[in-house]
Structure 1
Amino acid sequence: MVRKLAGTVLAAAAVTALTVGPAAASSGASGATAASAQLIRTKVYFGDCENTCQIKVRISNISRTKIFDIRLKARLKINGRNVGSCTDHAGSLGAKRTKWASCTVRGKSLARAYDRYLEGFADFDQQANTTVYYRYYR
């Protein structure tokens, strides 16, 4: 439960994009964070991506304030087409700490894209756009 303290509750979001080719689908690659003055840094990793695709995000708090109500929203595209999205609630994060958040995309569109890849009709180029929402006391 969140208690109101003296100060203002602020909300912010950090956006990360990651593109991975079919050969590097299970290895980690880094993305770039969005605007300046963010309290967090994120790094996106892919798990196994076949009929279901796991998106893992390492969230690092680089500030001296406690961040709470961290939420992850991820959208997965295969070959430029949106195949699904997922969300995760990561909770709170202390100052100078790191936490992992992950969610799994599954659905008919992803299964069809993977089947077309197995049959040799299309590539399987993955792109994940993630947004991490958080709140903190000033």
Structure 2
Amino acid sequence: MTRSLVGMLLAATVATGVIAVTPTAASASELGQSAARPHLLDYKIYFGKCEDTCRIKVRIKSVTRLKLYDVSLNARLWVNGKKVGSCYDYVGSIRPKGVRWAGCTVRSSKLSTMWNRYNDGEIDFNTETKTNVHYEWYS
């Protein structure tokens, strides 16, 4: 990419006190990509005991100098490639460069059924989770 294209791509606009990094219309069409939000968080996922109920803990770290508001966590649990449940947790606000923990528990009949089939020796029990952390920030 050329230097001017990178400059257009990272043009910061301020509208009603909210900072948003968006590419211009020309640069988005040249790249063939849609606009993406800046990543202000870094997080790591931990599993607790996972049998007929599964505990998911997430360490959320702010990597910006802005205070983040209304942070929430959505987690979906998959066992052997099949979705067995989801959960939600409201975290609150995170101070600049701060760390907060979020956690939720998945309880569902699908998870219980998969655990019973694992105990009977019919299937493996390979857990995987997909998370989405939502936040807002102001300048």
Stretches of structure 1 that go unaligned for 5 or more consecutive residues are 1-5, 11-34
TM-score (structure 2 length as normaliser): 0.75
Are residue 61 (structure 1) and residue 62 (structure 2) matched?
yes
- Quote how far apart the aligned CAs of 1:37 are: 3.1
**Which residues in structure 2 correspond to 1:121-132 (within 5 Å)?**
121-132=122-133
**Which residues in structure 2 correspond to 1:1-138 (within 5 Å)?**
7-8=17-18, 37-138=38-139
What secondary structure, in the 3-state scheme, does the structure 2 residue paired with 1:92 have? strand
Higher strand share goes to which structure?
Answer: 1
- Quote how far apart the aligned CAs of 1:8 are: 1.9
Distance 1:129 1:41 in 2: 14
Distance 1:123 1:62 in 2: 37
Distance 2:37 2:70 in 1: 21
For the 8 Å contact 1:73–1:85, the answer to whether it is kept is yes
Measured at CA, do residues 69 and 36 of structure 1 come closer, stay the same or move farther in structure 2, by a change above 3 Å?
closer
Distance 1:38 1:59 in 2: 12
1:4-26: CA deviations, max 9, x gaps? xx61276xxxxxxxxxxxxxxxx
Stretches of structure 2 that go unaligned for 5 or more consecutive residues are 1-15, 21-35
| Equivalent position of 2:4 in the other structure | none
Max radius of gyration: which structure? 2
CA RMSD of aligned residues (A): 1.6
Count of aligned pairs between the two proteins: 109
Distance 1:127 1:71 in 2: 20
Higher helix share goes to which structure?
Answer: 2
Counterpart amino acid of residue 124 in structure 2: D
Distance 1:69 1:96 in 2: 16
1:75-112: CA deviations, max 9, x gaps? 00101111000000000000010000000000100000
| Equivalent position of 1:16 in the other structure | none
TM-score (structure 1 length as normaliser): 0.75
Distance 1:57 1:63 in 2: 18
